[in-house]
Structure 1
């Protein structure tokens, strides 16, 4: 919380990361101790309205563009207490890499299928 009683803006990025990891896990994509996985290339979040503490943040994720080795996860942020209000929105562009070589590799087919299906969370 910041001095105005708002959730501090730096926490939003943490919330988004936690939501992405949970989403990948629900899609069956392991995120820990694996030879390949995503790294963040770009994060964009537009703050539309401050979240006032206390509140339960709700993040809706959905698939954006999927390239050869990159993918976009789009997000919308609301609260459980006020689900009709959009507090923020944006996207995160990820690049799939081989952790041993730090080189980009193709997005796994199973994730590509899940992303192509436009699965939401």
Structure 2
């Protein structure tokens, strides 16, 4: 499991005073990027081989300005050309779950505009973070 922390910013709140639902997708993107960096991937566009195929987020509790969120990321499935990540957003102070999410990421060749098989080295790196749940 990989874990990062993000603090809810005032600009991410809405008229109801809680973190707006769209902000969670930005948090999840940050968690994915940090996960890929942790695996050793270069963040230069010419070297990038991932494309997001699908993402979902289930909102369980409200988050607020200045709250610290711990975002856990793990791998739940590895296919031939894609893999699935699971995320859990938890209040770092209270340990209350705020949201759970998943993302399907495709290994993608941007030059040829098509998906490709996941290289064995990446498969083994992903397998090292395989869990049925992130908690």
TM-score higher than 0.5 = yes
Is the 1:76–1:89 Cα contact (8 Å) retained in structure 2? yes
Shift in Å, 1:8: 0.8
Deviates more, 1:103-112 or 1:6-15: 103-112
Query: Helix, strand or coil: the match of 2:45?
Result: coil
* Among candidates 83, 89, 100, match of residue 100 of structure 2: 89
RMSD, aligned α-carbons: 1.7
Query: Helix, strand or coil: the match of 2:34?
Result: helix
Match of residue 58 from structure 1? 70
The runs of 5 or more residues in structure 1 that have no matched partner are none
TM normalised by structure 1 equals 0.90
Q: Matched residues in 1 for 2:120 and 2:48: separation?
A: 13
Matched, 1:76 2:76: no
Query: Helix, strand or coil: the match of 1:87?
Result: strand
Match of residue 50 from structure 2? 38
Q: Matched residues in 1 for 2:14 and 2:71: separation?
A: 21
Distance 1:29 1:109, change over 3 A: farther
Q: Matched residues in 2 for 1:40 and 1:32: separation?
A: 17
Question: How many residues are aligned here?
Answer: 120
TM normalised by structure 2 equals 0.82
Match of residue 117 from structure 1? 128
Match of residue 106 from structure 1? 117
Q: Matched residues in 1 for 2:77 and 2:27: separation?
A: 22
Q: Matched residues in 2 for 1:113 and 1:26: separation?
A: 14
The runs of 5 or more residues in structure 2 that have no matched partner are 1-12
